């Protein structure tokens, strides 16, 4: 009788009586391969989240974009959405300080701090790409201005606190951060 020694024991080869143990070992090897693939996928996913956390924790490493780079992006988004460039610039300054890699503790990303739902709504493939981020943020601002019939204060409050908070409050919510946000951007207009 021929025996094969593996790291997990002795495997008999040949004969019908030995087929059942061999089948069991083949199944174990297949299960181990599936587990290795699962671990590989989990490791990749963890690395992605770790990268986002590292970016969020190290904004000092991400300098604000220079005006020469950001101005054409802002102007194009403003023109395409019939908004004032100063409005978009004001939102960018307030949201991210002009940092394209900014990530908030709530998961907002990029120059205009797009939330995941907004990224999905406007089909943004890379929220850290300045052009995609600013265009989606401008579209969202236009949508909010239409919803609140041109009332810039309400649109800005909704951009900051969410439309549900503005609707529930029937105005600017009694949230100091939101009040300060609206006031700061309105002063820049």
Residues acting as catalytic residues: 95
- Provide the 10 A C-beta neighbour count for residue 10: 9
Inter-residue contact 109 to 119 (CB < 8 Å): yes
- Residues paired with residue 114 on neighbouring β-strands, in sequence order: 109
Inter-residue contact 91 to 137 (CB < 8 Å): yes
To the nearest 10°, report the CA torsion of 33, 35, 37, 38. Answer: 170
Tokens of 136: 């989606």
Burial call 98-127: b when 16+ CB within 10 Å, e when fewer: bbbbbbeeeebbbbbbbbeebbeebebeeb
């Amino acid at each position: 009788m021929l025996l094969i020694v593996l790291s997990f024991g002795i495997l008999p080869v040949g004969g019908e009586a030995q087929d059942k143990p061999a089948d069991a070992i083949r199944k174990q090897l297949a299960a181990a391969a599936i587990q290795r693939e699962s671990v590989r996928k989990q490791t990749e996913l963890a690395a992605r989240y770790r990268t986002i956390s590292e970016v969020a924790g190290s904004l000092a490493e991400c300098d604000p974009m220079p005006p020469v780079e950001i101005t054409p992006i802002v102007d194009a988004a403003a023109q395409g959405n019939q908004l004032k460039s100063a409005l978009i610039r004001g939102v960018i300054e307030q949201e991210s300080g002009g940092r394209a890699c900014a990530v908030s503790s709530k998961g907002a990303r990029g120059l205009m701090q797009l939330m995941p739902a907004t990224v999905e709504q406007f089909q943004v493939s890379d929220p850290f790409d300045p052009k995609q981020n600013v265009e989606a943020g401008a579209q969202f601002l236009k949508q909010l201005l239409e919803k609140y019939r041109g009332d810039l204060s309400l649109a800005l409050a909704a951009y900051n606190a969410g439309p549900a908070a503005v609707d529930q409050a029937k105005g600017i919510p009694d949230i100091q951060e939101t009040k300060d946000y609206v006031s700061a951007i309105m002063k820049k207009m």
